[in-house]
A and B are shown apart, each in its own frame.
Chain A
Amino acid sequence: MISNRTFLTIGLVVALIIGISAVFFASGDPDGLDSTALVMQGQKDLTQPANPDAEIDESALPGEFEYSAPFPDYTIEGATKMTDTVLLVVGTILALLLVFALGKGLKKFSRTGSS
């Protein structure tokens, strides 16, 4: 059995290694949802890869709202692999900090609150 601190360190290091590897090795093929959208729009056969330039026709979709994320698809215009790596590391640590802060905050609230 390893200590909390060791578990945290190893866990975070492993998460960062996975995230950084993803920048270099993750598949660029469409995911299951995008593949389904391409199939439904006649741009992909169910069991065959789509053309590399196949794109989902947004005009055929019902959504009316468009939000521009600062780093769409985990990258930014002109980004290098280094930039993408930084973005993924920041995202991973941000996920950790958000859960940590909200978790700690709620536990503090439960100690000082009505209960």
Chain B
Amino acid sequence: MHIPDSFIPITQGAVYWVIALVFIVLALRWVKNEMSEEKVPLVAVLAAGVFALQAFNLPVTMGTSGHLVGGALVAIVLGSPFAAIFVLSLVLIVQGVLFGDGGITVMGTNIINMGVIGGFVGYYGYHGLLSVTRNIYASAAGAAWLACLIPALCAAIELAIAGTFPLVPGMISMGIYHALIGLIEAGITAVVLGLIVNSRPDILDHPTGAPS
């Protein structure tokens, strides 16, 4: 759901950039004050994984494809939505500046959708579902699905404000496609979480119920 520059007028893009910058500053403060230094290399590897997985579009029927976004995954593994904002912002900068994947004037919009909204929905969705299901994989999958669908619906609203899509048809179309793409998000998030739990349970900042 990387929005290109042509989809949103510059003035609106600037407003989203200002909002995104507030969250970027908060994310940088989170890294500086809350994240332990031993985790820096692990966050960097997660960023590499997110970048690679985002390049891997998988078909989801109806002539459409989609890929992992990764906001939920990063937020769940590192235990903060701000981790997702930190990682996704930097990944989006590389994608936008070098590869034209997502625009420049709209980069703030993409950071808000995938980093901020994806991160917060992923993190709080996970902990909400965890308190009900008591299963980390089901919770991660459910939260990741929501962290794909809800940012896509937000993008549809932003694009309706921009006059690019009509509101209701845009939300229906974005919603249907990303409900399917969200299954990719759910599956990969649960699998990667499983790999991390089995190889390095200490990276997770919360008990998983697994013996460590």
Interface residues of A (CB under 8 A from B): 1-2, 4, 7-8, 10-12, 14-16, 18-19, 21-23, 25-33, 35-37, 39-40, 44, 46-50, 58, 61-74, 87-88, 91-100, 102-104, 106-107, 109-110, 113, 115
Contact = CB atoms under 8 A, between A and B. Distances in A.
Contacts of A102: 28, 31, 86, 90
23 contacts: A1-B202, A7-B200, A8-B42, A18-B56, A22-B57, A27-B59, A36-B156, A48-B63, A61-B164, A62-B164, A63-B6, A63-B10, A65-B105, A66-B6, A67-B5, A71-B99, A88-B55, A91-B95, A96-B51, A97-B44, A99-B87, A99-B90, A109-B32
B173 A72 contact: no
Interface in B128-178: 152, 155-156, 162-166, 169-170, 172-174, 176-178
B63 A91 contact: no
Contact of A91 (B28, B37, B51, B200): B51
Nearest to B52: A19
Contact of B41 (A4, A35, A68): A4
Interface stretch (B15-23, B64-72, B118-126): B64-72
Q: Is the interface of B mostly helix, strand, loop or mixed?
A: helix
Interface string B100-121: 1101111000000000000000
A21 to B, nearest CB: 7
Contact of A74 (B87, B101, B103, B172): B101
Given A27-B59, A103-B44, A104-B40, A110 B33 contact: yes
